[in-house]
Amino acid sequence: MIRTRSHRTPLTIWIIAAIWSLGALAPTTRSAMSAGSTGGGAVVALLIVTLVLIVYHAAALIRLSRWPIVLQSVTLAWSVLGRVLTGTFDVGPSSVSRLLLMWVPFGVYLACTLPHWRKMNWALFGRPYRRPEDQVEVFA
């Protein structure tokens, strides 16, 4: 028996999924274009991996899975922890602006997604939306 949600995906989740997808794709294409002369195989592999991650993140978030939020939080924490442990984390004016560029978008991401946490599920790809009256027809 397939378990489905009885409510639609909120608009804020759709907006965050779209913005996050575009925001994640921009740096990748920029680095792929600058690294195009070094080797084609590495650039293609980077683009494929990034596209798969972007599609997964957007699809799972739209289907109200909690995993994209957890993975995004772990990735950002890993990045900050890596900078602290390697000694590249400094407290100067330029690093403060870099921290704001990292944390302000993440704060907006959390502000738009966490209010819906209770509606979300732990399924890796989320669950499909079906109207309650359609569920009766399908599962009768």
Whether 6 is covered by a domain: the verdict is no
Q: Which residues contact 18 (CB under 8 A, 6 or more apart)?
A: 58
* Range of the structural domain that residue 57 is part of: 11-132
Per-residue model confidence (pLDDT) at position 139: 44
Residue with more model confidence, 24 or 95: 24
Whether 1 is covered by a domain: the verdict is no
Instruction: Tokens for 125, please give them.
Output: 């790809």
Whether 3 is covered by a domain: the verdict is no
Q: Check: pTM over 0.85? Answer yes or no.
A: no
What is the mean pLDDT of the segment spanning 3-27? 79
Q: Where are the alpha helices (DSSP H) in 63-140?
A: 67-86, 93-113, 132-139
List Cα–Cα distances, 122 to 14, 24, 68, 83, in angstroms. Answer: 18, 23, 10, 30
Per-residue model confidence (pLDDT) at position 140: 45
Whether 137 is covered by a domain: the verdict is no
